[in-house]
Amino acid sequence: MSKAAMAIESVHGTWRNRWTFVLAATGSAVGLGNIWKFPYIAGENGGGAFVIFYLLCIALIGIPIMVAEVVLGRHGRHSPINTMRLLAQESELHPSWVIVGWMGALAGFLILTFYSVIAGWSLDYIFKMASGTFSHATSEQAGKEFTELLANPLKLTIWHTIFMVLAVVVIARGVNKGLSKAIRILMPMLFVLLFILFGFSLSTGAFGQAWDFLFAVDFSKLKLGGMLIALGHAFFTLSLGLGAIMAYGAYMPKSASIGRTVLIVAGLDTLVAILAGLIIFSLVFANGLEAAEGPGLMFVTLPLAFGNMVMGQFLGMLFFVLVTFAAWSSAISLLEPIVAWLVESLKIRRMFASILIGALAWFIGLGTVFSFNIWSDMTIWDKTVFDMLDFLTANIMLPLGGVLIAIFAGWKMNENIIKHELKLSRFSFKLWRALVRVVAPVGVVLIFINTMWPDFFPWLFELN
């Protein structure tokens, strides 16, 4: 009987305390997904019912899986790929469980390729805001600025390159140096600014409409495809299913309570998404814009608002600085699993591993850059390269990875080890186990079936 000896500490280091983990995991979770993606997909999918469905996915599927990822990471103390291998050995399971780690690393890599391009838009907007481009702009002008940016592949490539370099620099230095210091200041600033903007949105006169749009539930508006998008986004926004949280869990001190920590991270993530949604839709409705605007939503409505508010030039610039930082702290967590694996397994230097992966991701990212201009007509099933990557990762790979992690933690891994890591009360443990064993896998499978074969459940047929 071969039992892998589990390391007490990771070779990559340990967070100084539980709060550094909270900060880093929140930094990973809060990103473009919350501020850019959530409002626009809520807009495209009709609001209310979509949002409630999304919140259910967070509570019943996302949070239990996040707990599972942290448990696996903290017990395995390695990169997700090696953690899965070691844990499978320890519980005497089939070695093919390592595939979960591999698929996650690949998903993280693919997300990084387009994440960097979108974060590049945000970089561009820092300068646009600072130079007063949007002062007293009309909604047509704001729309035109954005369309022109997307039509310019060279500009997009330059910003994509700069963002990728930023992500690589931090990962090359190791997560503890620099980054945790930076986000300790920046994350609170992001919250303060969101609250200021929230105050502003209350004064637009359209706050009530925005609230109703996000929370008035009318299930006839929720299409089947919307359910899969809500589910996928629950994984994307909490950084689940690809090992990012597992990698960070590996650096978590033994004494920290996992359950409470995860609730804080998920709560903050949800708060940011809802605030961003309320702010953006107040502005959308106050300015007579379309809720279903698509990916340009944040880049058109917010500059418009800043351009017409006191100190807007400065606050607008600051806002995009913070969006960039939020994206930055997420991007590094996309790189960490695969870089940590290269360092552990091939014994190459962290610096070299980071540059190698960053360069590859940069190159594939050009496909996303061109999706918005020269390749915008090159579509398969009506999807550009960017749409494809987004769909494949968020809606397929992350839910699949997440469910495999749930099954591993819920059914396969030695229960005593989990109990020991989790230290939950009997009730909480049973609740968590029921969620990862049954609710998460069944929920994901049902939503998949529903989307792939829309007439599988005849009573739901009407919805489409």
**Quick check: 122 binds ligand PHE (CB under 6 A)?**
no
Give just the sign of the alpha carbon dihedral 254, 26, 238, 122.
negative
Q: Token digits for 154?
A: 């060279």
DSSP string across 48-90: HHHHHHHHHHIIIIIHHHHHHHHHHHHHH-S-HHHHHHHHHHH
Partners of 380 in the β-ladder: 383
Question: Rounded to the nearest whole angstrom, what is the least distance from the CB of residue 394 to ligand PHE in the complex?
Answer: 8
Helix axes 312-346, 18-29, angle to 10 degrees: 110
> What's the rounded Cα separation, in Å, for the pair 103 and 114?
17
> Which of 28, 386, 46, 401 shows the shortest CA–CA distance to 229?
46
Q: How many residues bind ligand PHE (CB under 6 A)?
A: 16
Q: Which of 45, 180, 237, 451 binds ligand PHE (CB under 6 A)?
A: 237
Coil, helix or strand at residue 380: strand
Least distance CB 102 / ligand PHE (angstroms): 16
Residue 342 CA to residue 357 CA, distance in Å, equals 10
Between 29 and 98, name the residue whose CB sits nearer to ligand PHE. 29
Give least dist CB 25 to ligand PHE, A.
10
Between CA 24 and CA 305 the distance in angstroms is 31
Q: Which of 34, 261, 324, 451 binds ligand PHE (CB under 6 A)?
A: 34
Residues 418 and 64 sit within 8 Å (Cβ to Cβ): no
Binding mask 150-189 for ligand PHE (x = CB under 6 A): ----------------------------------------
Sites for ligand PHE among residues 2-31 (CB under 6 A): 28-29, 31
Choose between 97 and 114: whose C-beta lies nearer to ligand PHE: 114
Nearer to ligand PHE, 206 or 334 (CB): 334
CB of 346 to ligand PHE, least distance (A): 23
Residue (194 or 304) nearer to ligand PHE, CB: 194
Question: Other CB atoms closer than 10 Å to residue 411's CB: what's the count?
Answer: 13
Residue window 328-357: x/- pattern of binding to ligand PHE, with contact defined by CB under 6 A: --x--xx-----------------------
Q: Which is nearer to ligand PHE, 31 or 226 (CB)?
A: 31
Please state the closest distance from residue 230 (CB atom) to ligand PHE, in A: 14
Of the listed pieces 10-18, 80-88, 237-245, 280-288, which binds ligand PHE according to CB under 6 A?
Answer: 237-245
In angstroms, what is the minimal distance from the CB of 237 to ligand PHE?
A: 4
Of 22, 23, 25, 32, the one binding ligand PHE by CB under 6 A: 32
Name which position in 63, 111, 179, 340 contacts ligand PHE (CB under 6 A): 111
User: Least Å distance between CB 32 and ligand PHE?
Assistant: 4
Select the span of 209-217, 326-334, 372-380, 448-456 touching ligand PHE (CB under 6 A).
Answer: 326-334
Backbone torsion region of residue 380, taken as left when φ is above 0, otherwise alpha when ψ lies between -120 and 50, otherwise beta:
beta
Question: What is the CA 46 to chain-centroid distance, rounded?
Answer: 21
The span from the CA of 140 to the CA of 300, in Å, is: 9
Structure tokens at 350: 């962290």
Backbone angles phi, psi at 302, to 5 degrees: -65, -45
Backbone φ and ψ of 383, nearest 5°? -115, 135
Q: Which of 247, 328, 313 is nearest to 81 (CA)?
A: 247
Q: Which is nearer to ligand PHE, 110 or 142 (CB)?
A: 110
Cα angle 114-118-124, degrees, rounded to a multiple of 5: 145
Residues in contact with ligand PHE by CB under 6 A are 28-29, 31-34, 108, 111, 236-237, 239, 242, 244, 330, 333-334
